[in-house]
Amino acid sequence: MDPSIALYSLFAPFLLWPFEYLFPYPHIVEELAKAVIVFLVLKSKVSLSQYLKTFSLAGVLFALSETVLYIINLNLFGRVSLIFIRFLSTAVIHSLTFLIIGYLGYKNKRLLWLGLLIAILAHYLYNLLVTP
């Protein structure tokens, strides 16, 4: 994985937090940021398996830093025990949405937009399920 992609994935939630505060639709803001990452990754010519590994790791890094934001705002949880569960579930959803956008973008660059829309919908449904 390109180190710049890893760093962007790790720090993106911190960069996006002010935007999410002003535009309170995290599923849209976060998936747009992931689409930018995917677009940058797709410019390099590597195998599909390398793309899938990159997007999976990027999703975990994204979830890790998002969990740090939740720890900073611990009052959102009410219980410390929920942080671990939240990290596991966010790692899965963020990796999944990265993979959706990335796989469709890999198959055809025009399908990146379809992947983005599917990822936004999946993230929205996830947020409905986990929001207390």
Tens digit of each residue's pLDDT (9 = 90 or more) over 42-52: 888 888 889 88
Name every residue whose Cβ is closer than 8 Å to that of residue 122 and which is 6 or more positions away in sequence: 93, 96, 97, 100
The residue to which tokens 């900073």 are assigned: 72
> What value, to the nearest 5°, has the Cα angle with vertex 19 and ends 16 and 21?
110
Comparing 24 with 82, which gets the higher pLDDT? 24
Q: What's the CA gap between 101 and 99, in Å, rounded?
A: 6
pLDDT of amino acid 67: 84
pLDDT of amino acid 31: 96
Residue 76 has pLDDT above 90, yes or no: no
Name every residue whose Cβ is closer than 8 Å to that of residue 25 and which is 6 or more positions away in sequence: none
Q: What is the pTM of this model?
A: 0.89
